[in-house]
Amino acid sequence: MLPCQRDLFDIPRDICFLNAASWSPLPLAVQEAGRAAVARKGQPWKLPPDFQSQQYERARRAAASLIGADPVDVALIPSVGYGVSTAGKVLAVPAGNRVLVLQDDHSSPVLEWVSRARDGAFSVETVHQPQDGDWTSAVLAAIDRPNTSALALVSISSVHWSDGGALDMPRIAAAAKRQGAALLVDATHDAGVRRIDVKTLDPDFLIFPTYKWVLGPYGRAFMYVAKRHQDGVPLEQSAPARKSVSAEDTVYFRNLEYQDGARRYDMGERDHFISMEMAAIGMEMMAGWGNEPIVARLAMLTDRLTEELANTGVQVLDKKVRAPHVLSLAFPKGMPTDLPKKLAAENVYAAPRLGRLRISPHVYNDEADVDRFVEVFKRVAL
């Protein structure tokens, strides 16, 4: 199990921050890199000509290593929604087909398809939140449902952001493939924590941002694109996406062919070296710790929470179907509306999400945080 990494962060002992699923604190090393990079932008004439490309290729490699991808199959993008919109442009959903999404999944893997459904004459089918919390069985049943229209795409999160349900993606990927459907994975609450290997999972697209679990800044996200989709038209048209459109050449539009690999889908202004370096360092830290040690630590914390909250009347998903790092408390009589505020007044931070209280520890949390949460929760919530 990974030991507590609190010393690498700027988190005072009296702060009980259990809200990484909303946004994680930046490690000190990431903050320092950000400050140094701002100073570099203050004196840009000192930067070597290949400085930006070194930074973004480092970030691409770091992102690829978290999901078992080759860097050439990873695009640099600014948000999950940007990646899904790219997929929306690249993937043609045939008329009359269906696209599967999860009930109350985050807007990013859902709304692109909702907004295209009418003009595209396809349907968006919602997999309802299962009573027993078993999203995997619910999705598998929807994929294999007989006597219905053909399935074109499964566009889902691999960990549900609000109830913390963890989906068994290898089983879902295999079922989608059997039906000839494409798979888009929003791995926002997964990449860096649970092990992902795109080479065996073989999704069509897999996307994650850096500002939550991989300890990076806003505005940086990464998209794995299967080779079979590396011939599409990118969301935006930029010079770096083309083989040769160079201001330094004597001919500007020399070669308009798109770059090979997923690079053609890179966002504009990927030269943003300040956030690229910050993103790379956070992801490298996560890779350095490794999935199993991280999962062991976070499962230890959420298991301890579950035990200590037993008999308080709150409900949590069964261990078999919940993520190791996201514990969402359901309140059969409704969550007291002022609960998050009352917790925050005691320096205890968790997030209200669709009627639940979502607790999301990370590597900087320890048993003392859990015990403190439980003590304050019992005092202000019950």
Ligand X SMILES: Cc1ncc(COP(=O)(O)O)c(C=O)c1O
Give the binding site for ligand X (CB under 6 A).
Answer: 79-81, 106, 108, 157, 161, 186, 188-189, 209, 221
Nearer to ligand X among residue 79 and residue 97 (C-beta):
79
Closest residue by Cα to residue 319 from 337, 305, 335: 305
Q: How far is the CB of 209 from ligand X (least distance, A)?
A: 5
Compute the least distance from the CB of residue 342 to ligand X, in Å: 23
Minimal distance, residue 156 CB to ligand X, in Å = 9
Give bridge partners of residue 301 from the DSSP assignment.
none
CB-neighbour burial class of residue 373 (10 A; exposed 0-12, middle 13-18, buried 19+): buried
Residue 79 is given by DSSP the state: -
- What is the signed CA dihedral for 81, 84, 86, 92, rounded to 10 degrees? -150
Amino acid symbol at 198: V
Cα–Cα dist 348/140, whole Å: 38
Residue 188 CB, shortest distance to ligand X, in Å, is 4
Distance CA 171, CA 70 (A): 23
Judged by beta carbon, residue 142 or residue 191, the one nearer ligand X is 191
| Minimum distance, C-beta of residue 91 to ligand X, in the bound complex (Å) | 17
The smaller minimum CB distance to ligand X, of residues 155 and 309, is found at 155
- Give CA separation, 18 vs 23, 227, 369, in Å: 10, 38, 8
Pick the closer one to ligand X by CB: 81 or 324: 81
By the 10 Å C-beta count (0-12 exposed, 13-18 middle, 19+ buried), 39 is classed as: exposed
Closer residue to ligand X (CB): 90 or 309: 90
Minimum Å distance from CB 360 to ligand X?
Answer: 11
Interaxial angle between packed helices 273-289 and 51-67, expressed in degrees from 0 to 180 and rounded to the nearest 10:
30
For ligand X, the closer CB: 19 or 381: 19
